[in-house]
Amino acid sequence: MTSAETKIDTHDKLRAIYGEPMGLAVDKCLSRLDPHCKHFIALAPFAVISSADANGDADVSPRGDGPGFIKVVDDNTIVMPDRPGNNRIDTLANIVDNPKVGMLLFVPGVNETLRVNGRAEISTDPALLDLFADTPKPPITAIKITVEEAFLHCAKSLMRSRLWDSGTQIDRKTLPTLGKMIKDQTAADFPIGTQEEADKHFAQSIAERG
């Protein structure tokens, strides 16, 4: 249990432990997308987006598609498609309340990541939706993000985790199926029947939503 003496609750206490950031860690933060950031986004098939509601309750959501599924419009604007899903719309609801978002983009096999922070809005503008006209499943809405900060993040975390190392991948049977886990979590409220039926339901749902 954290005591009053050991709880770090001010910036001064944090800096007393960690010191000041290295100059380059601050200087590399850009207020726009440069050619390297744009190239990284064009190669990235996966990203996570963080958001928070009006009360500050936070959420993070994975997003993925083919490389370059996030479109660069200009130096300060990117657009992410919101495709059909389970209709929880956690991220979208948060953006309505609080437009500030953060993103982390990944390129398979690359240990560096790209961090992007900015302000988002949800749009049905045909000009934005048409950016994704070449994809099999058109988005319902587009998330337009005005970039305020962008910077490349060092490789340490992915190197430590060995995320791209095939030798660290577990046998999928080590973890129960999604149907089994959700059946156990929802218990009596589970509406789908047997675990086998649940596994079939989730596989079909994912295939249909693409």
Q: Does 188 share its domain with 129? A: no
Q: Does 126 share its domain with 177? A: no
How many folded domains does the chain comprise?
2
Report residue 192's pLDDT band, with 50, 70 and 90 as the boundaries.
confident
Instruction: Decide if 109 is inside a domain.
Output: yes
Instruction: Decide if 147 is inside a domain.
Output: yes
pLDDT of 178 strictly over 80: yes
Domain containing 196 equals: 170-209
Instruction: Decide if 10 is inside a domain.
Output: no
pLDDT given at position 1: 58
Average pLDDT of the chain to the nearest whole number: 91
Instruction: Decide if 197 is inside a domain.
Output: yes
Q: Does 152 share its domain with 197? A: no
The residue from 126, 142, 161 where one domain ends is 161
**CATH code of the domain containing 82:** 2.30.110.10
Instruction: Decide if 137 is inside a domain.
Output: yes
Instruction: Decide if 126 is inside a domain.
Output: yes
Quick count: other Cβ atoms within 10 Å of Cβ 179?
Answer: 21
Q: Does 148 share its domain with 201? A: no
pLDDT given at position 209: 64
pTM for the whole thing?
A: 0.88
pLDDT of 202 strictly over 80: no
- Which range has the worst mean pLDDT, 76-85, 170-179, 196-205? 196-205
Segment 133-170, tens digit of pLDDT: 988 888 999 999 999 999 999 999 999 999 999 999 99
Higher pLDDT pick, 86 / 32 = 32
Average pLDDT over residues 83-96: 93
Instruction: Decide if 107 is inside a domain.
Output: yes
Q: Does 66 share its domain with 152? A: yes
Report residue 37's pLDDT band, with 50, 70 and 90 as the boundaries.
very high
Q: Does 70 share its domain with 136? A: yes
